[in-house]
Structure 1
Amino acid sequence: MIDHVYISVTDIDKSLAFYLAALEPLGWRAFGNYESASGPADVPDLFGLGDDTYVSGTGIGSSIWLRRRGPGETGLYLGIVCATNEAVDAAYAAAIGAGGVDEGAPADRTYFAPGYYAANVADFDGNRLEFVRKAWNPAP
């Protein structure tokens, strides 16, 4: 299951208005922002939209995070749900074994939230995967 996607945009306000209008009929809404000053230097400001399940915390839902596109930046950032921390570790190891580029070994990412455990890899074209286990998600 896809947990979240980062979409790099050139105009946050215009894009936020677009995505809110497009996804509102499906029950999506803005639910908060992540300010980069509270985390590592390589994590940008993020503007979150989520489906009702994601926002309410009643199950495993989906979210989109808008981020300002950097010069020459392309590619996709995709967060993939993992049922356990061990699954995060295994997916990370498999991706690295297949030639992926390490962008963050498995670890707690408490700067996002307590119980957020993740690992990050990039493919050959710069697309990024985040394998993530959120302790507050119900067991599958």
Structure 2
Amino acid sequence: MIDHVIITVNSFERSVEFYTRAFEPLGIKMNMDFEGENGHPALKGFGNGKTVFFWLKEGKSSPAGVHIGLIAEGHKQVDTFYEAAMEAGAKTIHAPRIFTEYYPGYYAAWVTDPDGYELELVHKS
């Protein structure tokens, strides 16, 4: 089980704007602004109102080999996430579709954020 993910981004301002817009259809919002102290970096935290699980740390991004998969409630949520991410500046890896190579009920979209991190939203039925 994963409790949280932290990714390093080149710009807090740009990435907070991107993730705020891309995550809006999922009900995920930035709800914690952690001021770093005693050697701990400052962080921007996103969550669902119950917990904060997706964090941004400002620095030199290193997206190679990182893939973040999130669960969708249905096909429509995959579609609205994709549209919101694209409007926020994402680049398409795969537009929303069924990936029969995984199995017949795997509906997903893949994008990259402004730093090149892969985001996938998937509905498995």
Scaled by the length of structure 2, the TM-score of the pair is 0.49
